[in-house]
Amino acid sequence: MAIRVVVSGAGGRMGRHVLKEVINAADLELVGGVDPAHLGEDLGILAGMSPLGISVQKDLVTTLRASKADVMVDFTTPMVAFDNIVAAVECGVRPVVGTTGMGQAELERIRELCDERDIGCVIAPNFALGAVVMMHLCKIAAPYFPQVEIIELHHDQKIDAPSGTAIKTAEMILSNRSGGSEKDQGQDFVEKVKGVRGGNFGGVQIHSVRLPGLVAHQEVIFGLEGQTVTIRHDSFSRDSFMPGVLLAVRRVGAIKGVMYGLEGLLFAD
């Protein structure tokens, strides 16, 4: 039986890509889409394909219940993503979420709700499989390099900074260190231009770039006396995120609670 999918943020750039991929997947069925900015438009047309006869709706809860969805894919904004996830869980629908920018309190509340309802949820800062590998390699390198800086580069329409990928990368690096701290990042600097050294996340400096022409890119530079190691990933097209999205849609039904990041689906402990 096909997995029934509703896309929240159906008219956005990522949403349209997801629509197309779900329509083309034999084991998935697109049963609804929500996006107030594209109310009434045909989902097939939004995906750049033939009309499906399914129109974009405004209310998520009504759409989830009427469509009998199994999975909700959300690519919206940090301002509405939390409410969308709560709505999906309360409807018994498993969320697969690529929206970043939610706070720790919101993530903890989502964990509580999923545990209470015994329902799975995947929230991934980055669905590009190469980016997941990049973060995994950074975690492996972390114990050997006490100093590291992250440069993340995204399109100029991305509203949160630093990116969820950069924060997740820093968390993974810090989780595999013994005694790493802010003092490991070298001497104090005099910033002649405020913020020029980026932001400090637990001792990891993060620099955010926002420019037209970019999609999603991250470079992690580890430094040690006489040497550096650079690990970089580039997404040149939003197509790069689709294999990860489809993997999560297909696997979320077997997950209990919240999986944050795709590494749990790619790498064994």
Active-site annotation, residues: 154, 158
- Report how far residue 46's alpha carbon sits from residue 9's, in angstroms, rounded to the nearest whole number: 11
